[in-house]
Structure 1
Amino acid sequence: MFPELKNDRFLRALLKQPVDTTPVWMMRQAGRYLPEYRASRANAGDFLSLCKNDAFACEVTLQPLKRYKLDAAILFSDILTIPDAMGLGLYFEAGEGPKFKHAVRSKADVDALPVTTADDLDYVMKAVTTIRHALNGHVPLIGFSGSPWTLATYMVEGGSSKDFRHIKAMMYQTPEVLRALLDKLARSVTEYLNGQILAGAQAIQIFDTWGGILSGPMYQQFSLLYMKQIISGLIREHQGQKIPVIVFTKNGGQWLENMAAAGPDALGLDWTTDIGEARARVGHQVALQGNIDPCVLYADKEVIEREVENVLAGFGHGTGHVFNLGHGIHQFVHPDHPKYLIDAVHRLGAKYHEPQFDDLDALNGLD
């Protein structure tokens, strides 16, 4: 059993339940902008060693929570753990990002891949449990995975890409091969995320980082379809608590209605989507997470507070909003600046959760 949760503001907002103020966390909140993170990474030896040691993973997960009044922690790991467990040989080169020793380019390559289970990634499950205990109920813990499409882009390209030529060629020329790969990944991700839930994760986010490079029809067929498959297979309640699911497709604002219909509890928005317009389109179905431009954190305190107010006002009154960046925090941000943002969200957000006259009328049974 885990300690009782003291701050459930984040979970309540995802479920569109009343909160006292807007909750906030930041994608990539544990990362290179923090000097203590850089020290931990140096002690670990390299990035993968940091991820695969539960003590280090716990240490860096908690670092931003010691600096800032965040409303959630997110597991420190990498989206490419599943392809690594499939035997593709993940490694990192300085300045070039992730790479694989073995790219997936043919039907034979796909056929040779296993469907991974939580046991294949037991170091992640151990980290989840370790972090959950270390949090001591302070805030909820988010588990996560990359989407099948996003994982496939790295696997087929052999690493990061600017043009995605190999996976897009596969998509058009041999779509049946890509579908087989995506199905294996969807089954693996479902097992992986359910393992995280059983290990202690209290919410789940699916990162579809590269879904936005697709055309509308291709997004439906090769990205959203497989996220829907995952969502339908996830544990949605554990130990008497609902497990909210967030889907984040970068540059996916044009597909919000389709994404909401796939069954998540919340949609993450990048900064190119107006949050007020998003709420008008799908806010009756799902909560929204986002969506300030991460580069705002390069500005001074007054500018950060102004931009926070703009996002809060854009969403408007009521619950169903989790404040976040529109993508991960940049490594060159000064560590003081996230505090300006987080404190402003809590302070300025409170007025958007005060009862309005119409709300009081409804409570009193008035017309």
Structure 2
Amino acid sequence: MPKNDLILRAVRQEPIERFPVWLMRQAGRYMKEYRELRAREENFLSFCKNVDLAVKVSLLPLELLGVDAVIIFSDILVPLEALGVKVEFLEGEGPRLEWSGAVSDLKRYDPEENAFVYEIIRRVKKAQDEVPVIGFAGAPFTLASYMIEGRSSRDFRNTKLFMWDREYEFKRLMEVLVDTLHAYLVRQAEAGANLLQLFDSWTNYLSRSDYEEFVFPYVEELIERLKDSTDVPLIYFFKGSSSFLDLAEQTKADALSVDWSVDLSLEAVRRRKVLQGNLEPSVLYASDETIRFKALELLRGMPRKTGYIFNLGHGLAPDMEFEKVKLLVDTVKDYRIN
């Protein structure tokens, strides 16, 4: 067990002296140390696969910010290569993906093709025993969206048309991704991850009825299979959280990570689940006084004394200032539960 097991106690809803804090995208371009390491590799994907560099990047937030958990440095698109999808990252443009568009053309997933991810977990754990290590993956819908769009999108129109017009094919794709992610995340747990997080980053573009039919059954199945396969706690992060919170609560996820559309002071009373979140990331562009005020406002409004993990409602951005991120972490760590 790590010396600082605050986040694990919070997930188990055991007594804690303060709320644990970690941040999505806590290792990234806003850190000069990250940029220096990134410059050693020719492209982002090779950077993710360089175990030595990925371990160093993973540890930066612990060393520089003092966060309560280390999330491994990788990318949600990594397992798609093992399915036969061409994945590349273009500087200044983001990811580009190519495949035939036919589910029958996808290869059967071999988790050994992502052995470097599991090695990163093992090496991060070996390098430090201070805090828990978080493994992660993109959720089925998020990965399906990237595959269908071939890149990021402003409206995910192609994904929706695929979903509506080729319903059988879309659902078959989701089944393939459930199988893939189950194997991928189980191997992360076996490598030593103390927690797992599932990222559903694009569900905010969906109506409730579409989420309920095309997304939720596969999230529910994946989480149930994971809970049957490993006792590692699982956090489910999903955008558009206020629209789907009651559905997400029905899953076997140990914690729900929500965006800033949710009033945590209210939902912490209603919900049995552990909650994570949900400061609006743009607060980090504000003055130091505003950052402190917003963070403390969220913390003071939390009616629970455990079962809560402080985080953002989404990830840190590359142009944020390191000093402001550090201020946020320090503010949360200085707050004591009455």
8 Å Cα contact 1:90-1:99 kept in structure 2: yes
Give the Cα separation in 2 of the matches to 1:281 and 1:337.
32
1:123 corresponds to 2:110: no
8 Å Cα contact 2:98-2:147 kept in structure 1: no
8 Å Cα contact 2:241-2:261 kept in structure 1: no
8 Å Cα contact 1:103-1:157 kept in structure 2: no
1:89 corresponds to 2:86: yes
5+ residue gaps in structure 2? none
Residue identity matched to 1:98: P
5+ residue gaps in structure 1? 355-367
Give the Cα separation in 2 of the matches to 1:165 and 1:276.
35
- Post-superposition Cα deviations, 1:287-315, rounded to whole Å, max 9, x if no partner, equal 10011111111122221111111111222
Q: Percent identity at matched positions?
A: 38
Shift of 1:165: 1.8
State how 1:118-157 maps to structure 2 within 5 Å: 118-135=111-128, 137-157=129-149
Shift of 1:161: 1.3
1:192 equivalent in structure 2: 184
1:178 corresponds to 2:170: yes
Give the Cα separation in 2 of the matches to 1:194 and 1:336.
36
2:199 equivalent in structure 1: 207
Q: What is the TM-score normalised by the length of structure 2? A: 0.96
- Of 263, 266, 269, the residue aligned with 2:255 is 266
Runs (4+) of structure 1 moved beyond 2 Å? 101-104, 235-238
Give the Cα separation in 2 of the matches to 1:193 and 1:317.
30
1:347 equivalent in structure 2: 334
Shift of 1:236: 6.5
- Of 27, 36, 39, the residue aligned with 2:36 is 39
- Of 240, 243, 249, the residue aligned with 1:251 is 240
Residue identity matched to 2:16: V
Give the Cα separation in 2 of the matches to 1:80 and 1:207.
11
Q: What is the TM-score normalised by the length of structure 1? A: 0.89
Give the Cα separation in 2 of the matches to 1:116 and 1:173.
26
- Post-superposition Cα deviations, 1:154-186, rounded to whole Å, max 9, x if no partner, equal 101111111212211111111100000000000
8 Å Cα contact 1:18-1:319 kept in structure 2: yes
Residue identity matched to 1:316: P
- Post-superposition Cα deviations, 1:298-352, rounded to whole Å, max 9, x if no partner, equal 122221111111111222241011000110001111111111111111212x1x2
1:338 equivalent in structure 2: 325
State how 1:1-367 maps to structure 2 within 5 Å: 4-102=1-99, 104=101, 109-135=102-128, 137-235=129-227, 242-282=231-271, 285-348=272-335, 350=336, 352=337, 354=338
Shift of 1:142: 0.4
Shift of 1:101: 3.0
